[in-house]
C-alpha cells in the first residue's frame, strides 16, 4: 500500500492557509503535516524533513518564499510556489521550484500540480532497491574506519567544542564534526534539535518541561527557547495515532 505523501504549508495569511488545507483534505493520498503562518518556523520544520513536498507563498513579512525555496533546493525537498503574483513565476524557475500555483487556488489545478510533482520526484514510490537507511556512520579514530550506530540505539547527540558525541548507551562515540552537519544526516521525522548543543531522538523522549527535557534513561537535557516550537510540532506529528 502506498503511503500518504506528507505536505508542509507556509503562508502568512491564515485564510489562504486554511483554504489550501481544506482543498488538500479532499485529495486522496496527501496529508498536511504542518501549516504555518510563521515563515521562520515553517522553514525550520521543512528543514527537519518532516514533509515530502513544501508549498509556500512568496511575499511574506518575515521571509521571502524564494529564499525558502533556495534552502529547500539545497536539501533536495521539492517546493511548490503558491502566489497571487504571476511575476514571481519566472524567478521561481531560477531556484528550481517544482511547480507554480496562482492564487486564488483552483482545487483541480492543485490536484494536478501535486500529482505532477509527486511523479516527477518519485515521491511515495520507494522500491526494494531503495532501502531506508536506519543508521549513521561515525568515525572510529582507533581503527581509522567507521562505526555503524543505529538510529534505534541513539539517544542523543551532544556538541562540545569541535566534537560531536553520539550517546547510544552504554556506548558514547566521538567524531570531529559540527552539530549542523550531523543534523543533516539524521532523519527529521525522528530526531530534533532542542538546543544549540543537543539533538535528541523523539522515540526516547519521556517528558518536556519549560527549560529541559527528559529521556527514558533518566537523562535531563537543556531545552533552548528557540527550539521549543519545533520540538513540540515534531513530537505531535510522531505521536499521532
Mean pLDDT rounded to a whole number for the chain? 84
Say yes or no: do domains 5-121 and 135-239 share a fold: no
The predicted-structure confidence for 121-149, as pLDDT tens digits, reads as follows 777 554 334 446 788 888 776 666 778 89
pLDDT of residue 49: 79
pLDDT in tens, 190-227: 889 999 999 999 999 999 999 999 999 999 999 999 88
Q: Above 80 in pLDDT, residue 92?
A: no
Q: Quick check: 91 pLDDT over 60?
A: no
**Which CATH number does 135-239 carry?**
2.40.50.1020
C-alpha to C-alpha distance for 83 and 89, rounded to whole angstroms? 9
> What distance in Å separates the CA atoms of residue 81 and residue 217, rounded to the nearest whole number?
43
- Helix or strand holding residue 219 (H, E): none
Residue extents of the structural domains in the chain = 5-121, 135-239
96 contact partners, CB below 8 Å, separation of at least 6 = 69, 73
List, for residues 153-171, the tens digit of each pLDDT value.
Answer: 999 999 998 899 999 999 9
Residue 88 scores a pLDDT above 70: no
What CATH number does the domain located at 5-121 have? 3.40.50.2300
Q: Rounded to the nearest 10 degrees, what angle do helices 14-25 and 107-121 cross at?
A: 70
Amino acid at each position: 500500500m502506498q503511503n500518504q505523501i506528507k505536505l508542509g504549508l507556509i503562508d502568512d495569511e491564515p485564510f489562504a492557509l486554511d483554504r489550501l488545507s481544506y482543498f488538500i483534505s479532499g485529495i486522496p493520498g496527501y496529508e498536511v503535516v504542518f501549516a504555518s503562518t510563521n515563515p521562520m518556523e515553517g522553514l525550520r520544520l521543512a528543514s527537519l524533513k518532516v514533509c515530502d513536498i513544501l508549498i509556500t507563498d512568496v511575499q511574506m513579512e518575515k521571509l521571502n518564499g524564494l529564499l525558502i525555496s533556495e534552502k529547500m533546493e539545497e536539501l533536495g525537498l521539492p517546493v511548490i510556489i503558491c502566489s497571487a503574483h504571476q511575476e514571481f513565476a519566472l524567478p521561481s524557475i531560477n531556484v528550481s521550484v517544482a511547480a507554480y500555483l496562482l492564487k486564488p487556488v483552483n482545487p483541480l489545478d492543485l490536484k494536478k500540480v501535486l500529482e505532477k510533482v509527486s511523479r516527477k520526484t518519485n515521491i511515495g514510490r520507494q522500491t526494494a532497491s531503495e532501502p531506508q537507511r536506519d543508521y549513521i556512520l561515525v568515525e572510529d579514530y582507533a581503527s581509522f574506519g567507521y562505526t555503524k550506530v543505529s538510529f534505534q540505539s541513539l539517544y542523543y547527540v551532544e556538541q562540545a567544542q569541535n566534537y560531536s558525541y553520539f550517546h547510544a548507551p552504554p556506548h558514547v562515540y566521538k567524531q570531529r564534526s559540527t552539530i549542523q552537519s550531523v543534523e543533516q544526516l539524521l532523519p527529521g521525522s525522528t530526531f530534533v534539535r532542542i538546543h544549540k548543543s543537543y539533538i535528541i531522538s523523539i522515540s526516547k523522549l519521556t517528558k518536556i518541561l519549560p527549560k529541559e527535557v527528559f529521556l527514558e534513561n533518566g537523562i535531563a537535557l537543556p531545552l533552548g527557547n528557540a527550539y521549543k516550537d519545533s520540538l513540540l510540532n515534531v513530537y505531535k506529528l510522531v505521536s499521532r495515532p
